[in-house]
Structure 1
Amino acid sequence: MNKIDPRFTVQFIAQKDGQLLREALQEWRISKRALTAIKFDGGLLTVNGVERNVRYILQLGDCVEVTFPPEEKSDGLAVEHGDLTIVYEDEAILVVDKPAHQNTIPSREHPTGSIANMVCGHFQQQGLASTAHIVTRLDRDTSGLLCIAKHAHIHHLTGLAQRSREISRKYEAIVHGHVEQDSQSIVAPIGRNEMSIIEREVRADGQYAHTDVTVLKRFFLDSEPMTYIRLQLHTGRTHQIRVHMAYLGHPLVGDDLYGGSRRSIDRQALHCVSLDMAHPLTNEPLQFTSMLTNDILRLLG
């Protein structure tokens, strides 16, 4: 009985006559790092079923198969088995709905129990030779949708999509005070606060950061003014929404790191409600949504 090859494989059809395989692979967005791994770590390049190197000259219609070497999980990333709320899964990506109070990846304070740990367990059960490649990370106390690539090549493709802003994420949050403008863009650079290893702040020498804010509802909770807002990220800086809203003078409810109060909720009231992207292999448009969690809904009454 033949053993199933656990290695990840993609196929392409040559579109040009006389093109070097190396040039075609570059057009098909196979990274140089991946080609090095294929050459030295147990991958394979074939043309019409015959092993070839990158100097091979292609003919129109040739079938090229790229087999990536098996991946090893990162050192220190323990395989754990636990509950994952899976929204979507195929051979390339996994989209999960993350609860609050769970790390996306392990930290010094929380070395186990993260989404990444659980994903490694999930992959192990599938017999998948891969590790957890996080595409869209969420803070520990932020809930909602996050995307994981199943292979390094898929992670490379989704990284290219993120840099060209082809992955769109929307969040909903509740902030202190009544935000005056119904819609606005916050474009303010974010960098590390020199007095803290965790905290970020708006600072002139920070990285470009852009957040769009739309007011959904202004209300009072126990006579305190609050605003329910939707946010769209155009960049993905650490703590971006939390920093930008604090900078605006409206910190997230529950976000005591950036000036919010935990009187009504024990974490920042922030949830990733939608994730839109093109499938990294088929280019098919994918749209995912997630309902607000009960602790945030309670604030809205």
Structure 2
Amino acid sequence: MEPGSMENLSIVYQSRDFLVVNKHWDVRIDSKTWRETVTLQKQLRHHFPELADPNTYYGFRFCHQLDFSTSGALCVALSKAAAGSAYRCFKERRVTKAYLALLRGHVQESRVTISYAIGRSSTEGRAHTMCIEGTPGCENPKPSLTELVVLEHGLYSGDPVSKVLLQPLTGRTHQLRVHCSARGHPVVGDLTYGRGGSQEERPFRMMLHALYLRVPTDAERVEACTPDPFVPALDACWSPHTLVHPLNQLIQALRAAPDPDPTVWGPQPCSPTTPHSVTPETEAQQASCLQWLLEWTLEPDS
């Protein structure tokens, strides 16, 4: 997968109400900085000018977020009604997501459940990063759960690396990157949560990719699986040598699995506080939620 440009937007699912794009790494959803010549919003406007809605902030209704450095499946709603139905799926935790990653070191267990609570770091110089409960400066940690399955062991530029499938069962900021780093296996190319030094500056990108997405709205089942970018044919630095779990079988299992049970972890942020919540939402979180609702959800019935 080549770097993002205005021309090479990849669509992996399209219907009357939704698009799922295969977002490039190191591409922002939108930016008002003049230096950002390529953003996902600009790519969409270039390819689908007739679908842009001037009444929205971005021109398109993005149903969720991916980090700037993360590639893969990102869902776009094409109407307020579609956005509202997708929002309810995310709010009620009925969305299934799975990611691919290359991690530093050889993960010894073939399957791992990672359950560190995650909070925001108040450490000086790390105001925009997250951390696990028990580390200095970790504020308001919340329960977080990630399932990890090892696919392959190998080498990346001569260093031991594991290719894994990650399934976040909660949706904390930077959850996968923080959980993997806390286990001692940071994502290859992760400059924020990696091991530091020049090792993470050598890879051309952060090796985290949103592989699979399923949003079971009332009107349609939005489902998309993007191509695997972590194969030797696309990156000669990656040399797998031991197969642990075949990826195709895991994708089949994802497709066949029922939608997540929304009662397991309770509602997402923007919902009433539950026993799972450590503290009530902050005013900033509430304001962010209200802005989301005002822009994307259904208009009241007239």
Give the TM-score band, short-chain normalised.
0.5 to 0.7
Structure 2 partner of 1:31: none
Per the TM alignment, residue 277 of structure 1 is displaced from its structure 2 partner at its CA by 2.5
- Per the normalisation by structure 1, the TM-score is 0.65
Change (3 A) 1:132 1:110: farther
Is 2:182 the counterpart of 1:230?
no
Per the TM alignment, residue 124 of structure 1 is displaced from its structure 2 partner at its CA by 2.9
Structure 2 partner of 1:272: 210
Structure 2 partner of 1:182: 110
Change (3 A) 1:259 1:163: same
Change (3 A) 1:285 1:142: closer
- Answer yes or no: is the 8 Å Cα contact 1:215–1:230 preserved in 2: yes
Give the 5 Å matches for 1:17-96. Answer: 83-96=8-21
- Answer yes or no: is the 8 Å Cα contact 1:169–1:274 preserved in 2: yes
Is 2:130 the counterpart of 1:200?
yes
Percent same amino acid at aligned positions?
A: 26
Specify the SS of the correspondent of 2:215: strand
CA RMSD of aligned residues (A): 2.7
Higher relative contact order (CA 8 A, sep 6+): 2
**Matched residue count:** 221
Specify the SS of the correspondent of 2:172: coil
Task: State the structure with more CA Rg.
Answer: 1
- Per the normalisation by structure 2, the TM-score is 0.64
- Answer yes or no: is the 8 Å Cα contact 1:173–1:269 preserved in 2: yes
Per the TM alignment, residue 85 of structure 1 is displaced from its structure 2 partner at its CA by 1.2
After the TM superposition, list the runs of 4 or more consecutive aligned residues in structure 1 that deviate by more than 6 angstroms: none
Specify the SS of the correspondent of 2:87: helix
**2-structure distance, mates of 1:189, 1:153:** 34
Structure 2 partner of 1:104: 29
Change (3 A) 1:263 1:118: closer
- Gaps of at least 5 residues in structure 2 are 135-139, 240-302
- Gaps of at least 5 residues in structure 1 are 1-79
**2-structure distance, mates of 1:269, 1:163:** 28
Query: How big is each residue's C-alpha offset from its partner over 1:201-220, in whole Å with a ceiling of 9 and x where there is no partner?
Result: 11362233211101111223
- Answer yes or no: is the 8 Å Cα contact 1:132–1:149 preserved in 2: yes
Structure 1 partner of 2:228: 291
Structure 2 partner of 1:253: 188
**2-structure distance, mates of 1:258, 1:186:** 16
Give the 5 Å matches for 1:129-144. Answer: 131-144=59-72
